[in-house]
Structure 1
Amino acid sequence: MIAVLNRLVDLVEQHLTGELDVTVTARQLGTTEYHLRRVFSSLAGMPLSEYVRRRRMTVAAAEVVRGEDDLLTIAVRHGYGSTEAFGRAFRAVHGAGPGDVRRHGGPLRTQPQLRFRLTVEGNIPMDTRIVERPAFRLAGHAARVPLLHRGVNPHIQQHIAGLPPEEHGRLKALGNTEPDGLLQVTDDIDPDSAEGNELTYLHGVAVSEDTAVPEDLDAIGVPAGRWAVFRTAGPHPRALQETWAATATEWFPSNPWRLRPGPSIVAVLERADDFSTATCELWLPVEPA
């Protein structure tokens, strides 16, 4: 996977003044656009689209400073139909418009070309199992919330706190299949995984496909397929978030599996009364790479 990501970076460089078809590129690299975007954003700390924009504006800035072409020519070369649209994108990256940069030589915020490397430590084994599951459904209470990569998500906390205490018992009684217990489900995640983008969060349980779901509950259909299940234990949510990050940096590059579209599920197996520590299972939908 590391070689695939580095080849993707090379292709981005070749298409800075054109359009890179990520769907076709992923297929040529032997993977899927969904997996490619998810792993890239996890390792790079930014969406692929943001990296392309920053690299494009880095190259464009050098052309602006050189002053060999007018701003409209540079804008068109980099895929913008007007100097106004180009100026907005340029300012978003550099903090100043192209006219100011041409006059003063800056300020400039350069995005270096990325290069991915895999460092294998091997001292922290990941407790993982591969599970094949028939189709099932996730039933519970859903809300649209922004994606946050670190710390407790206050929007999710607020959503759960707004549920009546007896509702947790009702949901537990409804659940009848794996993953067991009350579940934290994230769905409709943009493949770029940009922080701040909205996703669907569902607080609920897993039920068999033929189980009747009460009309006052939301339901997410989950097709049959394989899942990678990662067991985590320790300070919550830090241990869970560190394991989630390690799936991209360690597990997927070292194993013949890739992410497939579908919800990500966290099952809380044990927890302290104040939720300061917890033992969890992270379920990620996968397919052979």
Structure 2
Amino acid sequence: MEPEEEGCPVDYLAPLTRTVEYIEKHLNEKITLKDLAKISGYSAYHLIRIFTAATGGTIGGYVRKRRLAVAAEALLNTERRVLDIALDSGFGSSEAFSRSFKSVCGLSPHAYRKRGVAHYVGFERPLDRISLCHRASGVTLQPRFVTLGEIWLAGIRERTAAPGTALPALWSRWNRLRAGVPCLAGGRSFGVCETPAEAACLEADGSVPYIEFVGAETSPFPELPEGVLAKTLTGGRYAVFTHTGAAASLAQTYDYIWGSWALTAGETLDDREDFEVYDSRFRGPECPDSQIDLYIPVRQSMEG
């Protein structure tokens, strides 16, 4: 008998796991809803609704995004013709493939290949039991929207090769610095990724540099101790997702936001920094009940 994932019963996970495993094995073949329903054990009617409820996207959208992700790898790692890659990706022509690819990546397949750099934002990574469980219980699939004014922070920053890799040590250093400083005690804590992946320049070894800032909310012009920096977060409209679980699984939440939600939400992402907020609901980096709010900058809606 299969073990039960924490918070996710086997009878919920197993059919969806079988479905996504089948999709992954047959990406370059015709995939029908009838086949998926048979694999899952659900009727087509129920599979459509259960898949959408569990993942935040449609089956057809997931298949399309996975095919485009595999196509992106082929463009960089093979010399196959774009037309051949397009046909294997389920598109009837290179023109249709190019339109779909550009809508996700912002570049045509030819331009993407010429640039020669992997670009993962917007490309759906394959779902597995862990990521399915996380989407079912670890992240709000539909965000709330808020409009904020400027937020003033005090904290420290560090350059790192990938987002998240420097955070444990950076938070530890910050907590030591803020200890005993009244204007930095209490209140909400913030984690900010200051370098968007799209704007970063590659290092000599091919890695992408990021700058992580961690700190606390403060007054506009506080007197700060040596080594502590002031920072202002720009106000505006944000989509707010709530991550539930250990901090180590934050990457799965971001995978969902950038690889699934951002492609189908109909929202226009803004160039402001995204950030995380740690308030009284955060009970430690390893606590399964901890909650962290993730603020993703989006353009003001026409209705607003």
TM-score by length of 2: 0.47
- Which protein shows a greater Rg? 1
